[in-house]
């Protein structure tokens, strides 16, 4: 979702490549806001981002309304909701930064260059951190489901509350480190012979220009220097997304096979086949929506990485097309954060009861009719259902 990018060319001029029209009032806030935020993909992203924050915040409140101690599964749901909220916030910060922090027109605008490059680097780090922790949380939820179903007897020993807390902390620390990894260039990437620290806080970088077969010194601040590396932290999103896709497909496929095997066993032994449609639907929802939302960006990043390694000219000639593909594939990642509370939280019986308690003022009061009764069942969580006469509406209890 790069709105404006610039690179220092061989003649030390700033080349501005933008999907916006060049206009005279380049630094005018109102014009930039209308031009950038008025695009269809930005409108869709802002709308989805706002809805995502609201949906996940309501899920957090519903989880808080659940009675009893916080279980490892609920901890993972809280972590997932927070990561999805962070995804939406990072998008809003990115759009605001695109409007209020434009790139410089000329290379001698050192202060604006510093603000733009470091602001953009910070936003990229925030976006990368948010998406990585969201992906890792989804993988953690899959592992939790696997242990709860396959090794149900040993669940409390394998994943107690303390271990779950440690796992969540480790996932967040890994995500922050990956997100900030763009800030680690230095001599590791360039070598001391090509990198000199100047007295004004800028680095003199000796770059080779293939078009002229000459090398020249370019003076860059630290954030610009980091952007000149071939390594990009966003590649980690692709790698972790690929790992998460493979892991979740294997885990949920195994869970589905185990559930189906148990269903057939019960049918042979008892002559009654339990309804396994819910397990099938849940598996398809989790795996299907994850692949639908994550695969487009994963495939795009993989193709771009290959083109970058091959230095294919198509990345320059079709820059605008590639930017549009990236922007629209990014929308699917945001959509995944919006669907998470409905797939994971709202489908759990105890969380649904938390929703009912949360919206108690909006609920119908329990019917005191003796013909209505409640059936309580527990399986790691409490599920409340209400039954009534055929000629009466279903009673909602809070």
Report CA dihedral (305, 309, 311, 312) to the nearest 10 degrees.
-50
Q: pLDDT value at position 203?
A: 55
In a domain, 247, yes or no: yes
91 assigned to some structural domain = yes
> Hey, how many other C-beta atoms are within 10 angstroms of the C-beta on 189?
15
Are 114 and 172 found together in one domain?
yes
Same domain, 238 and 299: yes
Looking at per-residue pLDDT, the higher value among 169 and 274 belongs to 169
What separation, in Å, do the N-terminal and C-terminal C-alpha atoms of the chain show? 43
pLDDT at residue 3 tops 60: no
Q: Would you give the DSSP letter of residue 201?
A: S
Position with higher pLDDT, 116 vs 378: 116
Contact of 126 with 90, CB cutoff 8 Å: yes
Q: Which of 228, 255, 281 is the last residue of a domain?
A: 228
- Same domain (yes/no): 66, 147: yes
Helix (H) or strand (E) holding 197: strand 195-197
Query: Is 52 in the same domain as 122?
Result: yes
The enclosing domain of 282 has a CATH number of 1.20.1070.10
Residue 38 lies in a domain: yes
Cβ-defined contacts of 96-101 (< 8 Å, 24+): 97/123, 98/3, 98/4, 98/32, 98/36, 99/29, 99/32, 99/33, 99/36, 99/37, 100/29
The count of structural domains within the chain is 2
107-131 per-position pLDDT tens digit: 667 778 888 888 888 999 999 999 8
**SS3 label, residue 365:** coil
Same domain, 17 and 138: yes
Same domain, 122 and 261: yes
Q: Is residue 378 part of a domain?
A: no
78 lies in the same domain as 117: yes
The pLDDT tens digits for 274-314 are: 555 666 677 778 888 888 888 888 888 788 878 877 777 77
Calpha distance 394→19 (Å, rounded): 54
Instruction: Report which of residues 371 and 343 the model is more confident about.
Output: 343
* Contact (Cβ atoms closer than 8 angstroms) between residue 29 and residue 312: no
Residue closest to 323 by CA, chosen among 117, 39, 46: 39
206 and 268 share one domain? no
Q: 216 and 280: one domain?
A: no
Same domain, 126 and 261: yes
pLDDT band at 172 (very low <50, low <70, confident <90, very high): very high
176 belongs to a structural domain: yes
Quick one: pLDDT at residue 26? Answer: 64
Q: Tell me, what's the pLDDT at 237?
A: 85
- Please name which of 351, 395, 359, 355 lies closest in space to residue 68, comparing C-alpha atoms: 351
Residue 328 confidence (pLDDT) = 84
Compute the distance between CA of residue 97 and CA of residue 120 in angstroms, rounded to an integer: 7
Residue 363 in any domain: the answer is no
Has residue 379 been placed in a domain? no
Phi/psi region, residue 201 (left: phi>0; alpha: psi -120 to 50; beta: rest), is left
Structural domain containing residue 273: 4-185+229-358
Whether residue 233 is found in the same domain as residue 101: yes
Burial class from Cβ neighbours inside 10 Å (0-12, 13-18, 19+) for residue 77 reads buried
Structure tokens at 61: 């409140």
Q: What is the mean pLDDT of residues 341-347?
A: 77
The answer to whether position 133 is within a domain reads yes
Token digits of residue 269: 């032994």
284 and 207: one domain? no
């Amino acid at each position: 979702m790069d709105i404006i990018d610039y690179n220092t060319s061989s003649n030390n001029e700033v080349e501005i490549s933008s999907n916006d029209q060049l206009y005279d009032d380049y630094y005018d806030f109102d014009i930039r806001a209308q031009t950038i935020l008025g695009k269809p993909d930005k409108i869709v992203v802002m709308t989805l981002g706002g809805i995502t924050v609201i949906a996940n915040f309501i899920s957090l409140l519903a989880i808080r309304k659940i009675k009893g101690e916080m279980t490892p599964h609920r901890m993972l749901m809280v972590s997932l909701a927070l990561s999805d909220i962070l995804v939406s916030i990072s998008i809003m910060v990115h759009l605001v930064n695109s409007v209020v922090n434009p790139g410089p027109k000329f290379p001698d605008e050192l202060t604006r260059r510093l603000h733009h490059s470091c602001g953009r680097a910070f936003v990229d780090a925030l976006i990368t951190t948010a998406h990585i922790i969201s992906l890792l949380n989804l993988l953690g939820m899959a592992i939790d489901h696997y242990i709860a179903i396959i090794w149900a007897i040993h669940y409390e020993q394998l994943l107690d509350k303390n271990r779950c807390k440690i796992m969540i902390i480790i996932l967040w620390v890994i995500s922050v480190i990956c997100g900030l990894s763009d800030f680690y260039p230095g001599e590791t990437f360039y070598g001391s012979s090509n990198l000199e620290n100047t007295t004004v806080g800028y680095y003199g970088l000796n770059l080779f220009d293939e078009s002229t077969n000459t090398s020249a010194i370019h003076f860059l601040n630290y954030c610009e220097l980091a952007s000149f590396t071939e390594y990009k932290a966003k590649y980690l999103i692709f790698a972790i997304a690929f790992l998460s896709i493979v892991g979740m497909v294997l885990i949920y496929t195994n869970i589905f096979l185990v559930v189906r095997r148990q269903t057939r066993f019960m049918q042979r032994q008892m002559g009654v086949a339990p309804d396994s449609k819910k397990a099938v639907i849940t598996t398809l929802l989790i795996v299907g929506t994850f692949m639908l939302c994550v695969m487009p960006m994963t495939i795009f990043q993989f193709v771009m990485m290959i083109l970058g390694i091959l230095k294919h000219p198509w990345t320059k000639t079709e820059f605008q097309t590639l930017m549009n593909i990236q922007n629209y594939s990014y929308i699917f990642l945001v959509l995944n954060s919006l669907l998470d509370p409905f797939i994971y939280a709202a489908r759990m019986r105890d969380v649904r009861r938390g929703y009912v308690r949360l919206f108690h003022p909006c609920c119908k009061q329990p019917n005191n009719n003796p013909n209505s009764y409640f059936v309580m069942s527990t399986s790691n969580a409490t599920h409340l259902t209400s039954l009534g006469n055929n000629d009466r509406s279903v009673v909602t209890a809070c």
